[in-house]
Amino acid sequence: MKIGVTGANGFLGYHLRQSIIWLTENEVVDFNRELFNDSDGLLHFVEQCDVIVHLAGLNRHESDDVLYETNVNIAKSLVIALKQSKNNPHVIISSSSQESKGNVYGNSKKKARELIDEWAADSKGLSTGLIIPNVFGPFGKPYYNSVVATFCHQIANNEEPKIITDGE
């Protein structure tokens, strides 16, 4: 099977890509974020894949508008390529437990998932939304994608850990 991983150089994508390479007989289709701005390149990527795991996205940004538009626009670009493709891969799209909290990040991930789900319904394709709560692990960035990385960073730097937004 040929598996494409958007966000393959990000926190989750890197680990997924390595796991596929080292633990399976499947092939990973190369991806880089510039493909979202290259419609022909993105179409070529989609046409090679049996499965696409869509992990690309923006977790944090100073501008709520940039955060929302980035996540929605990359999903729109992927949907355009999927519609143009003769291929109909299974698309697994990551989202977040933030979807239900009404914040900008959660809203952007929810909208991106809905766009992929609409494509699947229209094309008789297959999409799976994957809610990924509380990620952590090697190479997690403090203050970006992991409360655990933030906590460890604070302790290692003799900072007092603070809870900014409490949650379960």
Is residue 166 scored above 80 in pLDDT? no
Please indicate whether residue 105 is annotated as part of the active site: yes
Average pLDDT over residues 1-23: 94
- Measured between alpha carbons, how far is 141 from 109 in angstroms, rounded to an integer? 20
- Measured between alpha carbons, how far is 162 from 151 in angstroms, rounded to an integer? 8
CA dihedral 63, 67, 72, 75 (to 10 degrees): 140
Kindly name the residue from 14, 68, 105, 143 that is annotated as catalytic.
Answer: 105
Q: What is the pTM of this model?
A: 0.88
Average pLDDT over residues 76-104: 93
Please report the pLDDT score of residue 167 as a whole number: 67
Three-point CA angle 79, 80, 84, nearest 5°: 115
Is residue 117 scored above 90 in pLDDT? yes
